[in-house]
C-alpha cells in the first residue's frame, strides 16, 4: 500500500498545498454512487467515479451499474417475468387460446436476452457520465489518506486521486458459508445465476432471504426442479404472517422446502452432479441429496475489505464491518460520507441509496438541508405471488404500541384474472395495520398478490403523508382491480369475522 514516499513529487506538493483533483470523488459505480456523481455534476462540480468489480469466486464479472443493474433487481425482475409468462401460457386455453401444452422453456435464449439488456444499461451509464463530464476510472480504489485514494489501472499504471469530499457507495456482495466444505468450490450465488449460459438444472437454494425465495420462485416457474433449504425463519425482518403465506404459495406451486435444515458438505460426484449433505435439526439426523446447482443466498456482506478505511480513519461496525454514519450520511471523518448497502442500519434497497445520495449531494453543493427519511420505505419481494409492504409489520406495531392499541384490518380476495383460469387464490391477502384510536393512523400495509409492487407504490405515498384508516376508507377504488381491495378493508382481526371477500 502507498505511503507518502510512494506519491510522485509533483502530486505530493499539490496535495500538501491543499489543491485537490476533484470537488467530489465517488467510490462505487452502483445506483447510489452514480446518482451522487450525476447530481454533483449537474450542480457544476468537478466529479470522478471509481468502480471495480471483483470477479465472483466462479469468475463472473460485469460492467458499470452495480448490483441492481447487473446481478440484482433488473435481471431478477426479467426472469421473474419469464416465470409469470409461463403461468399465463397455462391460463391461455381457459381464455380461448389454443396453445399446445406443455410449452418448453429455453434458458439460453432468456439469459442471452436478459444479459443483452443489462449490457445496454452498462453502456448507458457510461454515456451518461461522459455527457455530464464525470470522469470514470475502472480501478480498485483504496485510501491513502483521508482525502486521497489510489488504484491500479489495467496497464499496471498506479493512479492517485484526491478530492475535497468523498462518498463511499461500494454496496455489498453475497456471503459464502466458507465453513462448509465445498461451498466455495462448487456453489454459486446471485452474482452468478443471472449470467449462466446454460440452465442451472435441478437446483438447491440455501437461505431464507428474499433473494433466496425470488430465485427459487423464478427457477420453479420456468420448470426447474427447485428446493429451498431454510435453517430458521423465512424473510426475517418482514411481517411473519405474510412470510408464511409466501412460503405456502410457493410450496403449493412446486417449490420444495427443507425446513430446519443446514448443509454441512458439498462434493462433486464422478458424473458431475453435486452431492449435498445436511443435518435436519428437528430429527438430528443427517441426509443427502443430489443437485446440478447449489445457490447460496444466506445474506450479504459490505464491500469494504479492500478500501483500507483505517488509513482514512473511517469507523465501521465491529460486528458487520458496515460503515457507521450519522443522520447526514457522515462518517467519523467530516468530509467522507457513505450511502447504500455499505452503511450500518440502512435498508438494502436501490431507491433508498439513490435518494440518500441525491439529498446528500444537494446538501453538500446545493444549499439544501433536507435529510433522507428512512421511515415508511416501500418494497416488494418478487416471489411468484408478489409481496409488497410499506411501514411497520404487525409484530413491530404491537411491540411499539401494544396489542390493545393496534387494529389490523384484513381480507382474503380473489383477483378477477384468476377466476376464469380456476387459479388458486388461497394466499391472496391484504392487511392494513393501524393505530386503534381514531382517526386510526395507518402504520403499515401488506399486500400479497399479483403486481404487488405497483399496488404498494401507490399507497406508499398516502402512508408517507400520514394517511388514516378513515381517509383510506373514503378513497374510491378502481374497479375491477386488486388495488381496490385495500380501500374496501372493513373487517378487523379483533372482530373474529371471516375476512373472505365475496361478490365482485
Cα 131-135-136 angle, rounded to 5 deg: 100
Burial of 30 (0-12, 13-18, 19+ CB in 10 A): buried
Cell numbers linked to 304? 469494504
Q: What percent of the chain has pLDDT over 90?
A: 94
Burial of 95 by CB count in 10 Å (0-12 exposed, 13-18 middle, 19+ buried)?
Answer: exposed
Q: How far is CA 363 from the centre of its chain?
A: 26
H/E stretch holding 265 reads strand 261-268
298/212 Cα distance (integer angstroms): 8
CA 13 to chain centre: 44
DSSP string, 167-215: EE---EEEPP-TTSBTHHHH-B-HHHHTT-SS---SEEEE--SHHHHHH
Q: Model pTM?
A: 0.95
Helix or strand run (H / E) with residue 445: strand 442-448
Nearest to 190 by CA among 60, 52, 344, 320: 60
| Average pLDDT taken over every residue of the chain | 95
pLDDT digits (tens, 9 = 90+) for 48-68: 999 999 999 999 999 999 999
Asked if the model's pLDDT at residue 4 lies above 60, the reply is no
CATH superfamily of 385-493: FAD/NAD-linked reductase, C-terminal dimerisation domain (3.30.390.30)
pLDDT > 80? residue 72: yes
CA dihedral 228, 231, 234, 239 (to 10 degrees): 170
**CA–CA gap between residue 380 and residue 156 (Å, rounded):** 43
The answer to whether residue 165 is catalytic is no
Neighbour-count burial of 122, counting CB atoms closer than 10 A to its CB (0-12 exposed, 13-18 middle, 19+ buried)? middle
Domain 22-171+303-366 falls in which CATH fold? FAD/NAD(P)-binding domain (3.50.50)
Tens of pLDDT, residues 86-139: 999 999 999 999 999 899 999 999 999 999 999 999 999 999 999 999 999 999
Predicted confidence at residue 18, as pLDDT, reads 62
Say whether 226 sits in a helix, a strand or coil: strand
pLDDT tens, 427-474? 999 999 999 999 999 999 999 999 999 999 999 999 999 999 999 999
Calculate ∠ Cα 331-337-339, nearest 5°: 105
| pLDDT at position 156 | 84
Model pLDDT for residues 242-290, shown as the tens digit of each residue:
999 999 999 999 999 999 999 999 999 999 999 999 999 999 999 999 9
Mean pLDDT along residues 304-325: 97
Q: Do the first three CATH levels of 175-298 and 385-493 match, i.e. the same topology?
A: no
What is the average per-residue pLDDT within 136-147? 97
Which of 105, 273, 410, 479 is an active site residue?
Answer: 479
SS (H, E, C) 103-140: CCCCHHHHHHHHHHHHHHHHHHHHHHHHHCCCEEECCC
Residue 310 pLDDT level (bands cut at 50, 70, 90): very high
Q: Cell numbers for 244, please give them.
A: 408464511
For residue 498, what pLDDT is reported?
A: 98
- Give φ, ψ of 411 to 5 degrees: -160, 140
pLDDT score of 9 more than 80: no
Q: How confident is the model at residue 8 (pLDDT cuts 50, 70, 90)?
A: very low
Domain extent listing, the chain? 22-171+303-366, 175-298, 385-493
CA–CA separation, 47 and 27 (whole Å): 11
Query: Span 175-298: which CATH code?
Result: 3.50.50.60
C-alpha torsion sign, points 221, 222, 226, 229: negative
pLDDT digits (tens, 9 = 90+) for 184-198: 999 999 999 999 999
Q: The dihedral of CA 28, 31, 34, 36: what is its sign?
A: negative
Task: Indicate whether 154 pLDDT > 90.
Answer: no
Annotated binding site: 77, 207-214, 299, 341
Residue positions in the annotated binding site for FAD? Answer: 77, 341
Confidence of residue 3 (pLDDT cuts 50, 70, 90): very low
Grid cell at residue 313: 480513519
pLDDT digits (tens, 9 = 90+) for 11-34: 443 444 468 999 999 999 999 999
- State the pLDDT at residue 17: 44
**Residues 201-231 pLDDT 10s:** 999 999 999 999 999 999 999 999 999 999 9
Q: What does the pLDDT read at residue 14?
A: 40
**All residues at 6 or more sequence positions from 255 whose CB lies less than 8 Å from its CB, including other chains:** 216, 217, 220, 226, 227, 228
User: What is the rounded end-to-end Cα distance, in angstroms, of the chain?
Assistant: 68
Amino acid at each position: 500500500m502507498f505511503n507518502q514516499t510512494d506519491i510522485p513529487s509533483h502530486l505530493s506538493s499539490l496535495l500538501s498545498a491543499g489543491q485537490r483533483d476533484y470537488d467530489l470523488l465517488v467510490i462505487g459505480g452502483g445506483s447510489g454512487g452514480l446518482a451522487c456523481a450525476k447530481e454533483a455534476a449537474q450542480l457544476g462540480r468537478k466529479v470522478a467515479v471509481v468502480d471495480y468489480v471483483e470477479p465472483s469466486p466462479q469468475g463472473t464479472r460485469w460492467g458499470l451499474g452495480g448490483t441492481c443493474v447487473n446481478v440484482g433487481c433488473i435481471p431478477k425482475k426479467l426472469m421473474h417475468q419469464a416465470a409469470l409468462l409461463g403461468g399465463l401460457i397455462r391460463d391461455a386455453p381457459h381464455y380461448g387460446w389454443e396453445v399446445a401444452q406443455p410449452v418448453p422453456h429455453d434458458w439460453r435464449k432468456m439469459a442471452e436476452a436478459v444479459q443483452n439488456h443489462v449490457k445496454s444499461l452498462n453502456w448507458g451509464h457510461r454515456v451518461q457520465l461522459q455527457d455530464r463530464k464525470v470522469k470514470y476510472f475502472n480501478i480498485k480504489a483504496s485510501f491513502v489518506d483521508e482525502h486521497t485514494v489510489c488504484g491500479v489501472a489495467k496497464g499496471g499504471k498506479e493512479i492517485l486521486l484526491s478530492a475535497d469530499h468523498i462518498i463511499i457507495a461500494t454496496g455489498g456482495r453475497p456471503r459464502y458459508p466458507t465453513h462448509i466444505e465445498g461451498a466455495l468450490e462448487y456453489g454459486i450465488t446471485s452474482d452468478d445465476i443471472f449470467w449462466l449460459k446454460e440452465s442451472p438444472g435441478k437446483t438447491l437454494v440455501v437461505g431464507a432471504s428474499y433473494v433466496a425465495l425470488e430465485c427459487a420462485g423464478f427457477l420453479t416457474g420456468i420448470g426447474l426442479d427447485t428446493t429451498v433449504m431454510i435453517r430458521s425463519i423465512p424473510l426475517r425482518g418482514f411481517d411473519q404472517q405474510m412470510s408464511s403465506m409466501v412460503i405456502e404459495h410457493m410450496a403449493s406451486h412446486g417449490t420444495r422446502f427443507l425446513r430446519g435444515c443446514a448443509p454441512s458438505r458439498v462434493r462433486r460426484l464422478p458424473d458431475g452432479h453435486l452431492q449435498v449433505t445436511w443435518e435436519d435439526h428437528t430429527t438430528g439426523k443427517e441426509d443427502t441429496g443430489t443437485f446440478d446447482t447449489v445457490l447460496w443466498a444466506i445474506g450479504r456482506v459490505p464491500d469494504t475489505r479492500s478500501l483500507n478505511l483505517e488509513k482514512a480513519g473511517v469507523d465501521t461496525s465491529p460486528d458487520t464491518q458496515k460503515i457507521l454514519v450519522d443522520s447526514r450520511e457522515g462518517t467519523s471523518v467530516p468530509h467522507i460520507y457513505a450511502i447504500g448497502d455499505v452503511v450500518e442500519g440502512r435498508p438494502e434497497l436501490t431507491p433508498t441509496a439513490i435518494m440518500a445520495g441525491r439529498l446528500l449531494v444537494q446538501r453538500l453543493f446545493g444549499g439544501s438541508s433536507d435529510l433522507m427519511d428512512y421511515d415508511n420505505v416501500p418494497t416488494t419481494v418478487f416471489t411468484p405471488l408478489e409481496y409488497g409492504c410499506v411501514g411497520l409489520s404487525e409484530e413491530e406495531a404491537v411491540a411499539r404500541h401494544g396489542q390493545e392499541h393496534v387494529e389490523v384490518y384484513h381480507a382474503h380476495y380473489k383477483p378477477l384474472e384468476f377466476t376464469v383460469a380456476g387459479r388458486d387464490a388461497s394466499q391472496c391477502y391484504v392487511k392494513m395495520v393501524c393505530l386503534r384510536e381514531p382517526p386510526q393512523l395507518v402504520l403499515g400495509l401488506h399486500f400479497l398478490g399479483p403486481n404487488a409492487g405497483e399496488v404498494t407504490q401507490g399507497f406508499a405515498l398516502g402512508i408517507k403523508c400520514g394517511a388514516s384508516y378513515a381517509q383510506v376508507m373514503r378513497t374510491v377504488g378502481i374497479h375491477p382491480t386488486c388495488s381496490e381491495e385495500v380501500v374496501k378493508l372493513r373487517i378487523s382481526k379483533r372482530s373474529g369475522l371471516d375476512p373472505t371477500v365475496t361478490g365482485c
